[in-house]
Amino acid sequence: MWLLAYVFFFELGDLNNFGFAAPELRVQWKLSIGTVGLVTSAAFIGMFVGAVAGGWFSDKVGRKKALLLTTVWYSTFSLLNAFAWNVPGLFVTRCLTGVGLAAMTVAAITYISEMFPASKRGTYQAWIMTIGLLGIPASAFVAGEITPMAAYGWRLVFIWGALGILILLFSHKLEESPRWYENQGQLAKADAVLDRIEAHTKASSGSLPALLAEPVSPPRHGKFTDLFAPASLRRTSMLIGVYIFQTIGLFGFMAWVPTLLAARGFPVVKSLLWVSIMYVGAPIGALIAVLVSDKWERKYLITIAAVVIAWFGIMYGLSSKMVPIIILGFCVSMFIQSFAPLLYAYTPECFPTQIRSSGSGIAYGAGRLANVFGPLIIAFLFTHYGYKSVFIYIAATWLLVAAIVSLFGPKTKGQALT
């Protein structure tokens, strides 16, 4: 749990790092809002490629290996962002960073679903997100402190984001998914992993209950096209729709708030300070998910969270004073991050083992691809219709998420993975 939380800490921070650096970059490089939107879109192009390829890669080579390699990838290219000297260079490095960020997330949520029992996997996903989400306010705070220090301060924000690579020092603590081994027909390796887990549990918690006799599952090799076969098409389509609209709504708020506040005339340093306070709500929101994720049906919890986010988002957009902006921004941030671990636990539950990571990847990737256009839409709305129109648009995306999940989502609470 702690190791997975560590990689999420820097992954979630890095998702927002360009948003934290953008206000200063606008001044130094004399960038327009449209150019900021273009560079932001670069990361989402990379995320689409990374999610789809990373999901397929995880199904082929294993959850642990995919998790580690994708973490190294995003950390390396996050570091290279710090050495960009013009907009085309930053576009390329943000795109390649996005490849690793999305691929790591898909590998990680699949790994979590397979390494924790059905009665607790939602809770542990939420605990991992709770700890990992501290990376957002931490990154906002780091950006607020180091950006004004020097002209190159924004570059240090990306160096901070590269520290996820240190997971390699502790990679021996992670086991491969025994469910993945079994699915590949590598039964001896699956048994060896379970023997080590059982031995550790006996040493820390005492004897284990006897197992019921179960037949050995034969290897099941899936194909990417199975996601669109009749057995999986409804769930694949439902999750693609959910991820498209939640990604647009999530990043429309989280990534753009510093730049939009600065564009309204608030000082850059003050804007970053306000945003860092808002983002303190993120881990609190994930703690809410810890408390409720395995107590009630997840599809209904996801629906409720999406409606609540839409409401607070509209109220935020209608506010113009410091205190309401901070409080309402705190609430939006909090409930977005209640929503995220619920969806991350729910997504891999919707697919069988042989295509679990690929299915999670195509859904996650579809959202990232859609958000290539999301920042451009926000830039257009802000330029032509003003600040409030952006938040009406964001609220509408969250209401669509609620409708799709409530109407088409399957129930998954407490069900064993297949």
Amino acid, res. 294: D
Question: In 3-state terms, what secondary structure has residue 94?
Answer: helix
pLDDT recorded at residue 213? 64
Dihedral angle of Cα 106, 225, 342, 182, to the nearest 10 degrees: -70
CA 404 and chain centroid, separation: 20
DSSP string, 35-64: HHHHHHHHHHHHHHHHHHHHHHHHHHH-HH
Selecting from 1.10.3720.10, 2.30.110.10, 3.30.360.10, 1.20.1250.20, what CATH number does the domain 2-200+223-408 have?
Answer: 1.20.1250.20
Burial of 32 (0-12, 13-18, 19+ CB in 10 A): exposed
CA distance 6 to 165: 10
Burial of 377 (0-12, 13-18, 19+ CB in 10 A): middle
Helical residues (DSSP H) of 133-256, grouped into ranges: 135-146, 153-161, 178-183, 187-205, 230-254
**How many residues are there in the chain?**
418
Structure tokens at 289: 């998910």
First to last CA, the chain: 23
222 φ, ψ (degrees, to nearest 5): -95, 160
Q: Consecutive 10-residue runs of the chain (418 residues): their mean pLDDT?
A: 90 78 77 76 84 90 92 91 85 90 91 87 90 81 77 81 88 90 88 90 81 64 78 89 88 66 59 68 85 89 93 78 76 87 90 88 86 75 76 88 92 77
DSSP string, 187-203: HHHHHHHHHHHHHHHHH
Q: What's the pTM value of the predicted model, to 2 decimals?
A: 0.81
CA distance 171 to 395: 40
How far lies 301's CA from each of 193, 404, 406, in Å? 34, 13, 10
CA distance 188 to 171: 21
**Quick check: 9 and 131 in contact, CB under 8 A?**
yes
Per domain, the residue ranges of the chain are 2-200+223-408
pLDDT recorded at residue 129? 87
DSSP string, 295-354: TS-HHHHHHHHHHHHHHHHHHHHT--SHHHHHHHHHHHHHHHHHHHHHHHHHHHHTS-GG
CA 137 and chain centroid, separation: 15
Identify the H or E element spanning 114.
helix 87-115
User: Which are the contacts of 391, defined by CB distance < 8 A and separation ≥ 6?
Assistant: 253, 313, 314, 316, 317, 318
